Amino acid sequence: MTGDTDQDRRGERLHWLDLLLGLALLTLIGRTVIQAWPRVDPKAVQTVRLEVVAELAADLAAQLAVGQWVKDGTTGEFMGKIIKKTANTANVPAPAARALGEAIPPSGLSPQRLVLVLEREGKIVVREGIFFGRENVRAGQERKFHTFYVEFTGTINRIAVVKE
């Protein structure tokens, strides 16, 4: 074979730029595999108690009772069973003074602050939080709740995991 000797040795040596590109490609593939690998987070199913604060009219508040199941209004996920109901009327502002000739509002419309304690089994994932089904639950969330009789908006005030 006569001719250029560089063409005969084309497969023998790699250029330094080819080595650098190959190393970058291997690094990218390795990083993708590591990120795609499923995490092994410890998951535990424990009893969780939620404290929900809602402001309702007195007649609607009377329809909520211990033992009723409460659902999330948007997702339909069960949030828990009411195990305790406390009415707190001390922090509710007094009704405004009426003008002369203004009708007296019915007594059922006076607001009543309710504190409901809900209890349910929840999945606890260490890095991600508490889950009821696929729904992540956090303190401070304002949600629309509903029972069989009443639909109301409430704020999740406190979350506690029951130690057994």
* pLDDT average per 10 residues of sequence, the chain (164 residues): 54 82 95 86 86 89 91 90 84 64 64 90 87 87 91 93 84
- Are 46 and 158 contacting, i.e. CB atoms less than 8 angstroms apart? no
Q: How many CA atoms lie within 13 A of 92 on its CB side?
A: 18
Judge whether 122 and 130 are in contact, CB under 8 Å: yes
Surface-to-core class of residue 119, CB atoms within 10 Å of its CB (0-12 exposed, 13-18 middle, 19+ buried)? middle
pTM > 0.85: yes or no: no
DSSP character at residue 24: H
Q: Which amino acid is at 43?
A: K
Distance from the Cα of residue 84 to its chain's centroid: 22
Predicted confidence at residue 90, as pLDDT, reads 58
Helix segments in the chain, DSSP class H: 5-8, 16-36, 58-63
Task: State the Cα–Cα distance between residues 124 and 80, nearest whole angstrom.
Answer: 15
Contacting residues for 144 by C-beta, under 8 A, at least 6 apart = 72, 73, 74, 151, 152, 153
pLDDT at 11: 63
Written as one letter, the residue type at 151 is E
pLDDT at position 67 is 93
What pLDDT sits at residue 79? 92
- E strands, 32-109, in order: 43-57, 69-72, 78-88
Please tell me the distance from the alpha carbon of residue 51 to that of residue 85, in angstroms, as a whole number: 10
Length of the chain: 164
